[in-house]
Structure 1
Amino acid sequence: MAENKKYRKSESESSDDNDDNYVPYIPLKQRRKEQLSKVAKILKTKTGIDGGIQQDKPDISDNICWNEETKNVSSPSTSNTDNSGMVNSGVSLLDQHSTLKKQAEVVKETAKDIQLKEEQRILESVTEARALQSVQDLAQGVTYKKALKTGWKPPSFILSRPQHVNDKIRFHLRIDVEGDSIPPPVRSFRDMKFPKSLLTALKKKGIRKPSPIQTQGIPVVLSGRDMIGIAFTGSGKTLVFVLPLIMFCLEQEKKMPFSKGEGPYGLVVCPSRELARQTFQVMTYYSKCLEASGLPGLRFALCIGGIPAKDTLDVLRKGCHAVIATPGRLMDMLNKKMLHLHICRYLCLDEADRMIDMGFEEDVRTIFSYFKGQRQTLLFSATMPKKIQNFARSALVCPVTVNVGRAGAASLDVKQDVEYVKDEAKVVHLLNCLQKTPPPVLVFAQKKKDVDDIHEYLLLKGVEAVAIHGGKDQEERSRAVDMFRNKEKDVLVATDIASKGLDFEDIKHVINYDMPDDIENYVHRIGRTGRSGNTGIATTFINKSCDQSILLDLKALLIEASQQIPEILIELGPAEDAYIELGGERGCSYCGGLGHRITECPKLDAIRSKQISNLGRQDYLANNAADY
């Protein structure tokens, strides 16, 4: 007890002796908190509010060293955030938000880059490795460096026009061009140096000045350049290749008349019989107008299935200037040596992308093999995705791409009405839709059976209607189209064979009885109205049986054309993610649909599924055939 009292006394005496140096006790937790605040203030003073030194940081509290005499603190370098993204308590909420936002943007950009790389990989995997060239040229390694030369030149005042003026004209007409040494646009048929009789024939058809695709496309073709022409339906693409071909044939005939069995000089390939027949009629009309003015007559041959080959051979024996054909009959006549392309120097593929999609790619490649020299090659379509454009350029020499509007875009002259109609109510609702406009009206259906049922129903209701599809013979198809074109019938019911390239006057209304499986077919269908500057209406029936991806493409197409969006499409969800441009390409780079990317392309999935189902089938059939 005495010792304890003595100890307390000495301690008390000691504290009394050092009153001047007395330091009150501060708990360790509070000391650490104060020093952390001091460190944060020092860092803010040195680096600024938005700054910070970022590095791997150990726990500060374990590394603070106290100095009793100086009362300073030494600590390792600190930062606003550590590598894991955790934010220190000494940084304001605004700074924390800014830091986290930057980190999120970095992650977002990385995800976009990953998506673009994946899409590029898919596109490369489905792109044809072989060029769209003849087998002979591929085997011999033949390549042409220069385009063909022609005797046509634009007037001197157009040649001397400054380049910025040409660019201004293209910008005003919404013409996009790609290529080297592009010929200048010409804004009148007279300046294109066409004969007066041809100008008169154009005026009789109501054509007084060239459309945008004609303003730039015809000078390109007359100059002998290879060309890819893309423009919306009804913009006058046919005249871009028809008028120069007629002038080239006329030039050849005047220099040296075609003898018996000679020719053709030009070849036009179309995906359907109706389109080939229409092109043949257009060329015949203008050539007869030229012949009536005293110029030499021209002979054209129609080479399509469903008509006797004898009719085509009769024209070929007399000497033929141009042949308009479909791939099947043309291949048959080439294989049987009924037709040769020894002097052919002009080739046009109308609706080129649809021809390749329909499986005629190998036929086109084989047709190229029958040419004996360099040719001028033209490709035209309203819907041509980048995949097809890049593929087609392999067959062209110094090509010029002329694009009016977006490839695959719907015409802005067409008002698009989309209505929800159940399958069992479609036929009855069709009669109500026919009342929207006066005839003639075009009705499209996906299946041949539906075409026949609609046709029969309309006849029972007293509607003057005709029908065409692939199951009917050519004579019946031709008669139906002629009756509808001459306005002897009010309604034409058809499958997609009538959707590509066909031109009917005064079509005010197109009805899609069902939504096609491909958005490109939809664009071609509604393009039968609203042509040559006129306006039209397109009514489409949809319901829940339609594929959702196609409906998303339709929704994006309606958004692009500033059309009214029906409630059923709004409920599907946003299509804007695919519609927004990503990596320089909007929508799907494979099929051109705006409602999805190539990673979700239904058309690509269908092709892959078909290839998988056909895997090994050819060898199996061959083995079975060998057994017999």
Structure 2
Amino acid sequence: MDGKKRHHDDDEKAQSSDDDNYVPYIPIKQRKKMELQQVKKRLLKQDEGSGSGAADSSDNNAGGEDDKEEEEEDIGPNAYISLLDQHSELKKKAEARKETAREKMLKEEKKILESVAESKALMGVAELAKGIEYTDPIKTGWRPPRYILARPPEYHSKVRKKWHILVEGRELPPPVKTFREMKFPKAVISALKKKGIEKPTPIQIQGIPTVLSGRDMIGIAFTGSGKTLVFTLPLIMFCLEQEKRIPFMSNEGPYGLIVCPSRELARQTQEIIKYYMDQLAAEGFPSLRSALLIGGVQMKEQMEIVKRGVHVVVATPGRLMLMLDKKMVTLDVCRYLVLDEADRMIDMGFEEDVRTIFSYFKGQRQTLLFSATMPKKIQNFAVSALVEPVTINVGRAGAASLDVIQEVEYVKQEAKMVYILECLQKTSPPVLVFAEKKHDVDAIHEYLLLKGVEAVAIHGGKDQDERIRSVEQFKNFEKDVLVATDVASKGLDFPDIQHVINYDMPEDIENYVHRIGRTGRCGKTGVATTFVNKTVEESVLLDLKHLLMEAKQKVPQFLASMQADSEIYLDIGGEVGCMYCGGLGHRIANCPKLEAIQTKQAASVGRRDYLAHNAADW
């Protein structure tokens, strides 16, 4: 009984204590009013305290601090700061965090670029072994007119700014705005006029004086901007100077070597050089000779020209390497080297061949690299071969020509062949159709012939004679359409091409830039139509989207709606897009091309280890 009573008393006590601690619900408005009243009371107390003597204030100091702490606990630290000020403060903190993230990403990108950079210098083996290093550029007898040299640096900067010419390097040669001021003979100027060339293009304004001055150079300009004349005209002048001093004997030469990635580009370059050499000879200047060394042609024919003594050799890497190895050609007196479409050569696997070619030189040479697309990776790779280089950039490296109207259309895979006929109605001929695979080129060519279209086709699997014939028929307007793989996309200059059709989107955005650059050349406007569908990689489509935005072209809805997480960091650090492949839709940390190469290398390493292990067992 006593136990029950004791429990009952305890329950009553607990209940009464709960009742004492009970806090009734107070609405938000009322709570805020109460808090404001408390704040007012505290402020009044503080005012009264400040009016009293120093002794009182010192006595109440501790109490005041307690009040402050109590106040902060009640109303929070930002009670007297406006929401606008709080927002700006938070924004500053967010920006600081973002900047830190940017810096971190830039450091990571720098490490990635260093890890993929070439450790071996682009120099001859003998030079590396002997420790030979050239520090001064080659000296030439050319100087700009005195009145151009007398102009202040601000004038030259103004000219460069007007033509959007970006130049890097030490002791930059001044830009020269006319061929006459470049001191070319009348025969060359009249030959240029016959081709419809009255004045130099932006890359020629700065590039030709740089080359004539003997400087090593990296030349980057959009397709159709006249890069070929930047290295061919000075080379002809140098050869003319050499021939006047001491005529070339049999088996002597070349003085200049031009290396191209494809046979078609090499043949086109040779034709340009031969045209100006013939024009000079017709005006009474000494006769100059050039040789074309490419695959698919008998060496006997090529050697007949070389044996007579040759001033210029235009070659593809494979045939040149073979003839150098057999000592059929020597580079003993060669002092001028051009790598045309240099980045494509490196990407196509000719990197080791280029390095080997360097080892055949017997002295310092003037080295020139040219391309429309040259990522940072290639520029860094080339620097080891150049002496005090001048980098000339007209527009962004890898940017599409603004004279090309780019149209991107979503076409299902099975409908592409039929849609080509519809696209051919957009413009008058000639039209170029590009496809990635050889069998697609053959299929398109056969389909167009069946539909009564005058078409020819070229790709790497066709005989050299057939390739030459197809290109000549197309250039001479005997055929309306040329269907080709990317062998026709690098540097080839077809007259008056109205329209380029990409049957499929290339796997590399650089190839896309080269393809559409076959139209809209020399200030003319052209159209490029590209078929895309769900088979195209997302990363390539993002690159295409940003390329269209950069060129202020219409972006289709299906491309505009695409968004990647990496896009928020596309414009950091001053370097636009990817430093490895030049794509605008990603950074080097997310580069699909680099990832594919690294995967391939890892696979080949594993295979070598496996084969080596098996060989050891045997």
TM-score, structure 1 normalization: 0.87
Displacement, 1:195? 1.1
Which of 218, 223, 236 lines up with 1:233 in the alignment? Answer: 223
Residues 206 and 77 of structure 1, relative CA distance in 2, 3 Å threshold? farther
Which of 97, 105, 112 lines up with 1:107 in the alignment? Answer: 97
Match of 1:555 in 2: 545
Which of 120, 129, 134 lines up with 1:139 in the alignment? Answer: 129
Match of 2:361 in 1: 371
Displacement, 1:349? 0.2
1:139-158 CA distance string (max 9 Å, x none)? 22211111001111111111
| Distance in 1 separating the partners of 2:402 and 2:113 | 30
Residues 295 and 431 of structure 1, relative CA distance in 2, 3 Å threshold? same
1:434-459 CA distance string (max 9 Å, x none)? 01111100000000010000000000
Matched, 1:430 2:424: no
| Distance in 2 separating the partners of 1:140 and 1:422 | 60
Alignment of 1:262-301 (within 5 A): 262-301=252-291
Displacement, 1:95? 3.8
Contact between 1:132 and 1:395, CA under 8 Å: does it hold in 2? yes
Contact between 2:117 and 2:381, CA under 8 Å: does it hold in 1? yes
Match of 1:63 in 2: none
Match of 1:498 in 2: 488
| Distance in 1 separating the partners of 2:380 and 2:307 | 38
| Distance in 2 separating the partners of 1:114 and 1:42 | 49
Look up the SS of the partner of 2:572 in the other structure: coil
1:237-260 CA distance string (max 9 Å, x none)? 000000011111111111111001
Displacement, 1:618? 4.3
Look up the SS of the partner of 1:505 in the other structure: coil
Opposite residue 296 of structure 2, the aligned amino acid is: G
Displacement, 1:622? 6.9
1:501-534 CA distance string (max 9 Å, x none)? 0000010100000000000000000000000111
Contact between 2:39 and 2:71, CA under 8 Å: does it hold in 1? no
Look up the SS of the partner of 1:73 in the other structure: helix
| Distance in 1 separating the partners of 2:103 and 2:339 | 37
Which of 220, 232, 241 lines up with 1:242 in the alignment? Answer: 232
Matched, 1:187 2:177: yes
Match of 1:204 in 2: 194
Look up the SS of the partner of 1:258 in the other structure: coil
Displacement, 1:191? 1.0
| Distance in 1 separating the partners of 2:385 and 2:40 | 72
Alignment of 1:336-355 (within 5 A): 336-355=326-345
Alignment of 1:78-227 (within 5 A): 87-89=77-79, 91-227=81-217
Opposite residue 332 of structure 2, the aligned amino acid is: H
Look up the SS of the partner of 1:530 in the other structure: coil
Match of 2:515 in 1: 525
| Distance in 2 separating the partners of 1:182 and 1:81 | 68
Match of 2:501 in 1: 511
Match of 2:567 in 1: 577
Matched, 1:412 2:402: yes
Contact between 1:578 and 1:586, CA under 8 Å: does it hold in 2? no
Look up the SS of the partner of 1:138 in the other structure: helix
Residues 76 and 591 of structure 1, relative CA distance in 2, 3 Å threshold? farther
Alignment of 1:26-105 (within 5 A): 34=38, 38=42, 73-75=63-65, 87-89=77-79, 91-105=81-95
Match of 2:433 in 1: 443
Range with greater deviation from structure 2 (157-166 or 570-579): 570-579
| Distance in 2 separating the partners of 1:42 and 1:346 | 87
Larger helix percent: 2
1:237-287 CA distance string (max 9 Å, x none)? 000000011111111111111001101100000000000000001101110
Match of 1:458 in 2: 448
Matched, 1:305 2:295: yes
Match of 1:611 in 2: 601
Residues 81 and 315 of structure 1, relative CA distance in 2, 3 Å threshold? farther
Match of 1:598 in 2: 588
1:331-382 CA distance string (max 9 Å, x none)? 1111111111000000000000111111111111110000000000000000
Structure 1: which 5+ residue stretches go unaligned? 1-29, 47-65
1:25-58 CA distance string (max 9 Å, x none)? xxxxx99994798489989xx9xxxxxxxxxxxx
Look up the SS of the partner of 1:74 in the other structure: helix
Opposite residue 259 of structure 1, the aligned amino acid is: M
Opposite residue 485 of structure 2, the aligned amino acid is: T
Opposite residue 100 of structure 1, the aligned amino acid is: L
Contact between 1:214 and 1:237, CA under 8 Å: does it hold in 2? yes
1:300-331 CA distance string (max 9 Å, x none)? 11111100111111111110111100011111
Contact between 1:81 and 1:88, CA under 8 Å: does it hold in 2? no
Residues 224 and 457 of structure 1, relative CA distance in 2, 3 Å threshold? same
Displacement, 1:77? 11
Displacement, 1:103? 2.3
| Distance in 1 separating the partners of 2:67 and 2:486 | 73
Match of 1:16 in 2: none
Displacement, 1:114? 1.6
| Distance in 1 separating the partners of 2:487 and 2:561 | 33
Matched, 1:488 2:478: yes
Opposite residue 340 of structure 1, the aligned amino acid is: T
Residues 199 and 110 of structure 1, relative CA distance in 2, 3 Å threshold? same
Matched, 1:568 2:539: no
Displacement, 1:74? 3.3
Residues 608 and 291 of structure 1, relative CA distance in 2, 3 Å threshold? same
Look up the SS of the partner of 2:148 in the other structure: helix
| Distance in 2 separating the partners of 1:40 and 1:536 | 80
Look up the SS of the partner of 2:291 in the other structure: strand
Contact between 1:176 and 1:402, CA under 8 Å: does it hold in 2? yes
Residues 41 and 218 of structure 1, relative CA distance in 2, 3 Å threshold? farther
Match of 1:393 in 2: 383
Match of 1:315 in 2: 305
Structure 1 segments (4+ residues) deviating >6 Å: 30-33, 39-43, 69-72, 76-82, 622-628
Look up the SS of the partner of 1:395 in the other structure: coil
| Distance in 2 separating the partners of 1:78 and 1:441 | 81
| Distance in 1 separating the partners of 2:167 and 2:317 | 29
1:164-184 CA distance string (max 9 Å, x none)? 111111110110101111111
Residues 599 and 142 of structure 1, relative CA distance in 2, 3 Å threshold? same
| Distance in 1 separating the partners of 2:44 and 2:443 | 82
Matched, 1:473 2:463: yes
Matched, 1:545 2:535: yes
Residues 91 and 271 of structure 1, relative CA distance in 2, 3 Å threshold? same
| Distance in 1 separating the partners of 2:320 and 2:464 | 16
Residues 575 and 269 of structure 1, relative CA distance in 2, 3 Å threshold? farther
